[in-house]
Amino acid sequence: MANRPNILFIMTDQHRGDSIGADPASPVDGDGRPLIHTPNLDSFVGDGAMFTRNYSPSPSSIPARRSLLTGQTAYGNGCPGWKTTPWTFETTLPGELSKAGYQTKLTGKLHSIPNRNHCGFQDIEQHEGLFDFPDDDYTKWMERESDGKFDETSHGLGRNSWDPRPWHLPEHYHPTNWTTNRALDFLDERDPTRPFFLNLSYVRPHTPFDPPQPYWDMYVDRDIPGPYRGDWADEFYGEKVPTYPMAQAWVADLSPTIEHRARAGYYGLITHIDQQIKRVLDKLRVRDELDDTFILMCADHGEMLGDHYLWRKSYGYEGSARVPMLMKFHEAMEADREQVIDRPTGLEDIMPTLLSVAGAAIPDSVEGRNLLELVENPERTDWREWYHGEHTPGTYDVENANQFIVDEGMKYIYYPVTGDELLFDLTTDPGETVDLSADPDDESLVGEWRERMVEQLRGRPEGFVKNDELQTVAPETMEDEWIH
Biggest alpha carbon distance in the chain?
66
| Positive/negative CA dihedral, 369, 374, 376, 379 | positive
According to DSSP, the β-strands at 48-51 and 325-328 are antiparallel
pLDDT in the model for residue 134: 72
| Residues in the chain with pLDDT values less than 70 | 1-2, 131-132, 395, 479-484
458 phi and psi, to 5 degrees?
-60, 130
Q: What is the pLDDT of residue 42?
A: 98
| Domain range summary for the chain, segments of one domain joined by + | 6-376, 387-477
Q: What is the pLDDT of residue 261?
A: 98
CATH 1.10.287 correct for 387-477: no
Quote the pLDDT of residue 468: 96
Instruction: Tell me how far CA of residue 401 lies from CA of 4, 53, 416, 480, in angstroms.
Output: 43, 22, 7, 10
Selection from 251, 266, 398, 320 nearest residue 57 by Cα: 320
pLDDT score, position 443: 86
Taking alpha carbons only, the member of 321, 300, 448, 302 closest to residue 388 is 321
Q: Is 50 in contact with 340 (CB distance < 8 Å)?
A: yes
Angle at 480 between CA 477 and CA 482, to 5 degrees: 125
pTM summary value: 0.96
Q: What is the pLDDT of residue 383?
A: 98
The per-residue pLDDT for 270 is 98
Question: What's residue 484's pLDDT?
Answer: 27
Q: Quote the pLDDT of residue 84.
A: 83
**Contacting residues for 73 by C-beta, under 8 A, at least 6 apart:** 57, 67, 348, 367, 368, 388
Residue 1 has a pLDDT of 41
Contact 89, 383 (CB under 8 A): no
**CA-based torsion, 373, 379, 382, 386: positive or negative:** positive
Q: What CATH number belongs to 6-376?
A: 3.40.720.10
pLDDT at 132: 64
* Closest to 260 in 3D by CA, of 295, 313, 221: 221
Q: What is the pLDDT of residue 482?
A: 39
